[in-house]
Structure 1
Amino acid sequence: MKRRLLLGAAAASTLALGGCASQQIDGYASEQPTLDLRSYFNGTLDAYGIFTDRSGQVVKRFTVLMQCSWSGDDGVLDEAFSYSDGSTQRRVWRLKKLPDGQYTGQADDVVGTALGTSRGNALNWRYTLALPVDGRVFEVQFDDWMYLMTPTVMLNKARMSKFGVYLGEVTLSFTRRAAA
């Protein structure tokens, strides 16, 4: 009887730990349309997003107007945020395309350097953001996944955590404006 309980507990813990496994970027290698950051993040984009807390409650809504440009392998994404509470924010990303679908990025409120990998229609972007909350600044880790749906629409889901503790998610939809 003890042996069955131990085997059952071992199987249950294996299943529980397997449920914690994260997705892998290489699983998207054959997905279409192929995401090329230099093409997609070029020109003007509009984004619409929400931040949800651990319970799934929408805490904040926002829009983003993005002006994006590239010179060779160096890109600038100038983001102007407008939040539902009337506040605004600006973040300017400086991106660098590296070999094999790798990217790095920096912005004034990003701690260190963001690292990204693109395969197929997806980009996984990981970074630490200095996030102001109620007069204090917290360093929060982002595990950001972007999926190109059509040549003009991309969906984005970012998981936020601190010390490995899940805080909530940011969900965005990007729309690339037609060239004038």
Structure 2
Amino acid sequence: MTRFLLLVALVLSVASCSSVDVARYADQQPALNLERFFSQPVKAWGIFQKRSGEVAKRFEVNIVSRREGNNLILDERFLYSDGTRQRRVWTLTPEGQGRWSGRADDVVGVAKGQVAGNTLHWRYRLNLPVGDSSYEMSMDDWMYLMDEDTLINRTRMSKFGVEVGQVTLFFRRQAVGASQ
């Protein structure tokens, strides 16, 4: 039992040391402005890979946004390769100095994010449905603005500090009036 606890402590300490500070990207251009990027419809394409690298699911997302006071509302509609659909509505709130908080029905507590330069780093816990069960996953989410219309997202999913998979997404802003 002692060896097991030492192993868990080692894994957690290695995982916590591996994170890059988002401030490292402060000078990177183009600068990410969430309100501007999501000011028109966005289409995204992504994959979920298991820890082994196997692609377990492919998906598309259509995102429309609106402002409600200070909040930015993102309405995400997912279509998965197996035909299932999902909807997630984020309420993002600016906290000042590039910091954001976010809430959604399947997010446990509050997501915390920081924008620096072309990069947004989010951390949150997500209730992930798998079959008839739901698992609480820790999400370490990095988004990089490549140009005015393209955002790349890489997310590491973990449980008890152990990576269980990764999500890769490519977002593309759509011309206003483009079909979704």
TM-score class, shorter: 0.7 to 0.9
Look up the equivalent residue of 1:100 and give its one-letter code.
Answer: Q
**Aligned residue-pair number:** 165
Asked if the contact 1:42–1:70 (Cα under 8 Å) also holds between the matched residues in 2, the reply is no
Are residue 148 (structure 1) and residue 132 (structure 2) matched? no
Residue 72 of structure 1 deviates from its aligned partner by 4.9
Structure 1 SS opposite 2:36: helix
Residue 71 of structure 1 deviates from its aligned partner by 4.0
Look up the equivalent residue of 1:116 and give its one-letter code.
Answer: G
Residues 90-144 of structure 1: per-residue CA shift (max 9 Å, x gap):
0000110111000000000000000000000000011100011121011001000
**Partner of 1:44 in structure 2?**
41
Which runs of no fewer than 5 residues in structure 2 stay unpaired?
1-13
Asked if the contact 1:104–1:115 (Cα under 8 Å) also holds between the matched residues in 2, the reply is yes
Residue 21 of structure 1 deviates from its aligned partner by 2.1
**Partner of 2:79 in structure 1?**
82
* 1:171 maps to which of 168, 172, 179: 168
**Partner of 1:118 in structure 2?**
115
* 1:62 maps to which of 54, 59, 63: 59
Structure 2 SS opposite 1:26: helix
* TM-score, normalised by the number of residues in structure 2: 0.87
Asked if the contact 1:43–1:69 (Cα under 8 Å) also holds between the matched residues in 2, the reply is no
TM-align CA RMSD: 1.7
Structure 2 SS opposite 1:33: coil
Q: Larger Cα Rg: Structure 1 or Structure 2?
A: 1
* TM-score, normalised by the number of residues in structure 1: 0.87
